[in-house]
Amino acid sequence: MKVLLAVTGGIAAYKAVELVSILRKRKDEIKVLMTESATKFISPLTFSAVGNTEVYTNEFDYTGLISHTGLSAWAEIMVIAPATANTIAKIANGIADNIVTASALAFKGPKIVVPAMNVRMYENPVTQDNIQKLLNYGWTIVDPESGHLADGEEGKGRYPDNAKIVFEIESLLTRKDMGGLRVLVTAGPTREAIDPVRYISNRSSGKMGYEIAKMAAIRGAQVDLVSGPVNIPAPFKVKRYEVESVQEMAEKVLGLLENEDVVIMAAAVSDYKVERVSDQKIKKINEELNLKLIKTTDILLEISKRRRSNQFVVGFAAETQNLVENAKHKFESKSLDMIVANDVSRKDIGFESDYDEVFIISKTSDPVHVERMTKREIANLLLDMVVTQKGEKI
């Protein structure tokens, strides 16, 4: 994506540095604009170094076409973060007296404003009227958060989480081919208690399931995410249900199942649990500790028994050998529409990694080998196939 990021003169300007860093890591193309006031808070060199990009602070330091028209024509999306009350007022009323406001007036694509200021300035009716004007003119507003402000006051006006801004950027530039669909995604590991302090689990980080849930939401779906214990924040515009055991996950998934159009079971669900969980911590007294394990609920099998004919169900198979063969067996035995198989014995992909390499097996084609790429890219490719095959199924 080609992102034109405009930074204005608020104390939150330093937080835009992290936004530039995130966009660069995503391999987006970035150009940065700064008002003169913004340069008083943070150096243009900081943005240039972090983003490996050009930074423009006035209308006369652009070597190509006229600065504001050239830059606004180059970008796919424009983001003003942070946006001061002064800049919001100028843009809302068509004032173009610096490189940021002139570029905003010339830009015709999707555009985002991120207000960040003192609570009294934010709540002032004039500011609220100007924000409403921007909404009417087609701007997307990422609302500020409430809390402790830089000047010591409490209230609404804090610069929001950069992840939320990135979500809105992606959302505005992504086709909404999943609009109208309700999608259930499971993610992460499960935990089966041994005693009050110990449990059986696995190495799943939940990254794959969370990327699927996030990208489905970005593509317009209503997403329910049933998650085991992970260290990942809930994606924006996704309803997350936190569970721990297989039984808890089964109850939540089966309770939601009736209303879902697509079910993607990316969670790494424990196959066994301890038959008798100790009420007290088991003391290290004997040389051996023998635990009797029994099978947990097979959630995919229960789904296959209860699903509607027009529901599309995707399973995951984490394997260490005979990858395609084992996945095909699971695919057929659980009556799935699609299954994603990955080799969890490899160190460069899979558990805890941002990358994976998978085979996708479905009823309509031979196994598709997806070579090593980011889990976000795999999530999008998987959803492409789901959208296509779900449509054919209807």
The per-residue DSSP string of 107-173 comes to: --S-EEEEE---HHHHHSHHHHHHHHHHHHTT-EE-PPEEEE-TTS-EEEEEPPPHHHHHHHHHHHT
Hey, which residues does 133 pair with through a beta bridge? none
Measured CA to CA, the distance from residue 249 to residue 241 in angstroms comes to: 9
Q: Which two tokens stand for residue 93?
A: 């009323």
Measured CA to CA, the distance from residue 385 to residue 376 in angstroms comes to: 15
Measured CA to CA, the distance from residue 298 to residue 192 in angstroms comes to: 14
Measured CA to CA, the distance from residue 312 to residue 174 in angstroms comes to: 22
Q: Which two tokens stand for residue 360?
A: 């996708």
Measured CA to CA, the distance from residue 30 to residue 139 in angstroms comes to: 20
Whether residue 202 lies in the annotated active site: yes
The per-residue DSSP string of 311-323 comes to: -EEEEEEEESSSH
Hey, which residues does 351 pair with through a beta bridge? none
Annotated active-site residue in 202, 259, 310, 342: 202
Chain center to CA of 287: 47
CA-to-CA separations, 200 to 203, 274, 279, 344, in angstroms, rounded: 11, 8, 16, 18
Q: Do 220 and 180 meet the contact criterion of CB atoms below 8 Å apart?
A: yes
Nearest to 186 by CA among 272, 258, 244, 273: 244
Kind of pairing, strands 199-200 and 192-193? antiparallel
3-class state of residue 100 by DSSP: helix
3-class state of residue 328 by DSSP: helix
Interacting residues of 32 by C-beta distance below 8 A, sequence separation 6+ = 5, 6, 7, 20, 44, 47, 48, 51, 53, 54, 55, 56
**Which residues are part of the catalytic machinery?**
202
